[in-house]
Every structure is written in structure tokens, then in C-alpha cells.
Amino acid sequence: MTHFHPVALEHASRLINHGPTVLVTSRSKDGSRRNIMAAAWSMPVEFTPPRIAIVIDKKTFTRELVKDSGAFGICIPGAALADLAYAVGNGTGRDGDKFSHYRIDASTGPVLGLPVLEAGCAAWMECRWIPEAHTEDAYDTCFGEVVSAAADERVFQRGRWSFRDDNRALQTIHHLGAGNFVHAGQVIQARPLG
């Protein structure tokens, strides 16, 4: 039984606005090659339509696949997947299929057919790549328009994150460097001033 449910596109930016480490999935246009990598730098840049920016080094296999297919996926791992996020972030898919090597069970996204992960992840998004001619050869930043999104209802409900003690394994992770992560952890509710 899946706990994943569609996320309204107007709420898609909330899936990454707090800066979690993400897993970027990609595949070739003909579907014969695929890859997964970790990225620490991503953010929403527009609400309607929902658009994001993510840093994917222009020399990587992932970037090659994104340019070929015109699309990429964003999967948001929970704390239980910290080891996997570190592993897929420290090797290239040119040497072999990371999905097979790490026994990653991926589903197929409903709009663009990208690999998406649900087991151990808090959410995922399918993004249509937005080529930027003036930055393509100069920068590693990529832009994408979110065309579908889903989240695990145990940690994301009614367009909001809900981090609690009982969903710790699904709480998003944030990379500190050298394989160290923190998870989203304790929520602090702001109080009105004055």
C-alpha cells in the first residue's frame, strides 16, 4: 500500500523550499539509460507555474541525460536513505546503472515517465527541463518546470510538512559535507509578536 498522494502543483515549491538534499533522477530519451545522483543545492524559483533551480554539474552523466530527454526527476529522501544519498552522490552512472547496483526500486512518473522513488522518500517531482541558452555552457544551474508531484501523507499533508517523532525516518535530510547530514527534526512554531 502506498502512502503517496498527488501534491497540487501550487504546493510543489513547498517540497523543497526548506533546502533538503534531493536525489535527481534522469533517463535518456529512448529510455535505454538512466541515472540517479544526489544534489544539495535546489530551490523553488516561481510559484505559477511551479519552477525550480538545481545545480547539476554540466560534465555529469545526469546532465547529459537531462539534455537528451529534456526532463529530470527530484526525489526527496527521508533520513532512512542518508546512506543511499551519500552513495549515489559519490559515483558516476557512466560506470553502470546505479539503480541496479544499489537495488533501488523505482516507479515510473505519471507525466514524463521518469524514475521516481517512494520507499524511504518523503516526496518526488517530475520536471520538464527549461534550457537557458545564455547559461547552458557557462553554469551548472538547471531550471525545470514541475509537471507532477506526490508526497507521503505521513509527512506531507494538505500542502504542508508535518515532522513528528513518529515519522522520523521520512524527515528530510540536509547535507553538511563529508557524508554528514542532519534531518529536519524538531519544528518550532512562531508566535505573534506585539
Domain boundaries along the sequence of the chain: 4-183
The closest alpha carbon to 59, from 105, 86, 93, belongs to 93
**Which residue type sits at 165?**
D
Average pLDDT over residues 24-38: 97
Q: How wide is the angle at C-alpha 131 spanned by C-alphas 74 and 9, nearest 5°? A: 40
CA distance 71 to 60: 15
Cell of residue 22, nine digits:
534531493
Listed in sequence order, the residues at least 6 apart from 46 whose beta carbon sits closer than 8 Å to its beta carbon are 13
Query: How many residues does this entry show for the chain?
Result: 194
Q: Is the pLDDT of residue 134 over 80?
A: no
Query: Could you tell me the pTM of the whole model?
Result: 0.94
Residue 185: its pLDDT value, please? 72
**Model pLDDT for residues 144-161, shown as the tens digit of each residue:** 999 999 999 999 999 999
Identify the pLDDT of residue 107. 96
Query: Over the stretch 46-96, which tens digit does the pLDDT of each residue have?
Result: 999 999 999 999 999 999 999 999 999 999 999 999 999 999 999 899 999
C-alpha cell at 127: 520536471
- CA distances 7 to 107, 123, 159, 169, Å, are 17, 9, 7, 20
3-state secondary structure of 117: coil
Of 143, 134, 74, 140, nearest in space to 109 by CA: 74
The half-sphere exposure of 90 on its side-chain side, counting CA atoms within 13 A, is: 10
Q: What's the DSSP call for residue 113? A: -
Q: What is the DSSP letter of 37?
A: E
Q: For position 114, what pLDDT does the model report?
A: 98
Fold held by 4-183: Pnp Oxidase; Chain A (2.30.110)
Instruction: Tally Cβ neighbours within 10 Å of residue 103.
Output: 7
126 - beta bridge partners? 73, 148
pLDDT band for position 136 (cuts 50, 70, 90): low
pLDDT score for 186: 72
Using the predicted structure, report yes or no on whether residue 133 has a pLDDT greater than 80.
Answer: no
